[in-house]
Amino acid sequence: RTLQEKRIHPHTLRHTTAIFLLKAGVDFATISQWLGHSSLNTTMTYARADIDLKRQALMQVFPEILAPPRAGHVSSATINIVDWLKRL
């Protein structure tokens, strides 16, 4: 599908920009001000919407669980991630 065939709205551009800023490490307060949000909670919606940000956060806290397996170590495929997340 080409870009011309997609329905792109101004809000789509705002949302995409906010996600890329978050992934680049820009803090929520700066993004909130830039987007003109009246509340920081509105900006936090972008973090809840992005699975990559969730994975990055988990990698920082539990790197041994989500990191790719190293040679000579047990494969992460033996770990049931869903069960592990339910125990958090």
In this structure, the dihedral spanned by the alpha carbons of residues 78, 81, 87 and 88, taken in order and rounded to 10 degrees, is: 130
pLDDT in tens, 39-87: 888 888 777 767 777 777 778 887 776 666 555 554 555 567 777 666 6
What's the pLDDT at 65?
67
Binned at pLDDT 50, 70 and 90, residue 30 comes out as: very high
Query: Burial, 77: exposed, middle or buried (Cβ in 10 Å; 0-12, 13-18, 19+)?
Result: exposed
pTM score of the predicted model? 0.50
